[in-house]
Amino acid sequence: MTADRTLDTLRLTARPIGLEDVSLLQTLHQAEPVAEHIGGSWTLDRSEQFVRGAVEHWQRQGYGQWMFADKASGTLVGRSGLRHYYLDGRDEIELLYAFEPSVWGQGYGTEAARAVIDFAFDQAKVDSVVSFTLPDNPGSQRVMEKAGLTFEKEMIRLEPPAFLVFRLAKEDWAQGR
């Protein structure tokens, strides 16, 4: 797949995650409000493992995760993107995102999620996108809903607690445009 590797929205610009982002992501994932929703604070090793996996995903699939920056200031505000995830024995495309707590409630997560979803259906040609969140994370649920995903089910991923699964099919996305 040869897709444009950058994304732009009204307020955000994004580039693929790279090895230079390890310390930025560690800082993001150590912020207490973020860490409580991603299974705890990330170490430098965990951050490096995540970034290496994201870079390899880009190399294998031609898409992956982006680092999003505010266009006006150039400040990095978070990450969002796509990755393969096995759910109920099926290869799914997962929408992921994490943003600096200082920008929560400003619509950046939804803006980024919509851009990533548009990329998924327009350029990556996927059939559906799934996303997961904890039941006690209403902010993440709102991002998913505003981006067009709907609640599908509750499930245990690797171990308790349960996660909520949201999905958006390409047909539903096309109707909502």
Structure confidence at residue 24 (pLDDT): 78
Q: Given pLDDT bands bounded at 50, 70 and 90, which one contains residue 20?
A: confident
Give me the residues paired with residue 20 across strands: none
Q: What is the mean pLDDT of residues 128-136?
A: 91
Give me the residues paired with residue 131 across strands: 166
Q: How many CB atoms within 10 Å of residue 166? A: 23
Nearest alpha-carbon partner for 163 in 131, 130, 138, 132: 132
For residue 84, is pLDDT > 70? yes
SS3 53: helix
Average pLDDT of every residue of the chain: 86
Which CATH number applies to 7-176? 3.40.630.30
Nearest alpha-carbon partner for 42 in 24, 54, 30, 55: 30
- C-alpha pair distances (Å), 82 with each of 8, 55, 96, 112, 159: 16, 12, 6, 12, 22
Name the phi and psi angles at 103, rounded to 5: -110, 5
